[in-house]
Amino acid sequence: MQHVRSGVRAIGLTILYVFLIAWAGFALLPFLWAFSSSFKHLTEIFKYPPNFLPQSFDLINYVNLFTKQHFPQWFANSVVLAGISTVLVLFFCSLAGFAFAKYRFRFKNTLFTILIGSMIIPFQLILTPLYAEMNALKWLNTYWALIVPWVTPAFGIFLLRQYMSTLPTELLDAARIDGCSEFRIYAQIILPLARPALGTLAIYQFMNSWNSFLWPLIVLRDIELYTLPLGLATLLGLVQSETIDYGMIMAGAFLTALPIIIIFLFMQRQFISGLTLGSVKG
């Protein structure tokens, strides 16, 4: 009977792994197609039946992307904005999460309920008043408008609050008895213990900032300030009366997606552990 159960379990795991591998290949297919097409000439991209691999690996699309467009500037803009935004979000959300998880203060539950409720408000609903606010502050066409309104996302505070609630309060009490200040407790005890949740939030925020399109499209005017999503869209708009260089666009799309994939591959363990461990306690 035990051998039968082991055999059934092995067959089930084999089917599951085959399904997951097939699904992963299906999900990676557009990325691999963009990578392959970035080395093809325009005529080869539209060839039928299509060739998955290019007939000859030509770097002309990458050369044109870096020499004829503002791609290096767009890439640098995205790296700086995503990096600064991620650091600020981790700092402010960890402070707020620590306060909600380990302190008692008036209207705490009410404020947290309002915070959670704000997550259901569509971004399109606050778009016009937020634009008016940025205009009043004279932050249009600046990076302030891309960073400041998003430094305390409700999801980030919720995630860190849930995770920090699982940390033993006795550690904090012992630190206070030893004479530690509240900020020192936060910096030297809470942050190291909350590393998985911080890693999860870092990936989430970096991806959000890196892939953001609608808000930068509204507030930015100068092409030198564009981020990568805006820049890729510009490659289509700049040549409306000519043949669109899809090979160059594929090269840009591949280079845009590559950093996100690399970051996730290196931090996937922290990402998964941060999502699961933070959910064991409300």
Specify the CATH number for the domain of residue 114: 1.10.3720.10
The pair of three-digit structure tokens given for residue 122, joined into one six-digit string: 């569509």
Does 3 fall in a domain? Answer: no
Cβ neighbors of 230 (< 8 A, separation 6 or more) are 74, 213, 216, 217, 220
Does 114 fall in a domain? Answer: yes
The pair of three-digit structure tokens given for residue 108, joined into one six-digit string: 């705490």
Cα dihedral 48/51/56/62 (nearest 10) = 90
Rounded to 5 degrees, φ, ψ at 152 are -130, 65
pLDDT for the residue numbered 270: 65
Positions in the chain whose pLDDT score sits under 50: 239-241, 278-282
Does 209 fall in a domain? Answer: yes
pLDDT for the residue numbered 31: 83
Does 33 fall in a domain? Answer: no
Farthest CA pair distance, the chain? 75
pLDDT for the residue numbered 278: 46
Q: How many domains are there within the chain?
A: 1
Place of tokens 């840009």: 252
pLDDT for the residue numbered 28: 82
CB 248 within 8 A of CB 131: no
Does 104 fall in a domain? Answer: yes
CB 162 within 8 A of CB 281: yes
Q: Residue 282 class from Cβ within 10 Å (0-12 exposed, 13-18 middle, 19+ buried)?
A: exposed
Does 199 fall in a domain? Answer: yes
Does 267 fall in a domain? Answer: yes
- Report the C-alpha gap between 272 and 282 in whole angstroms: 18
Domain that holds residue 226: 67-277
pLDDT for the residue numbered 11: 81
Q: With CA atoms as reference, report the closest residue to 210 among 86, 108, 118.
A: 86
Q: What angle do CA 181, 94, 212 make, to 5 degrees?
A: 155
Does 9 fall in a domain? Answer: no
In this prediction the pTM is 0.82
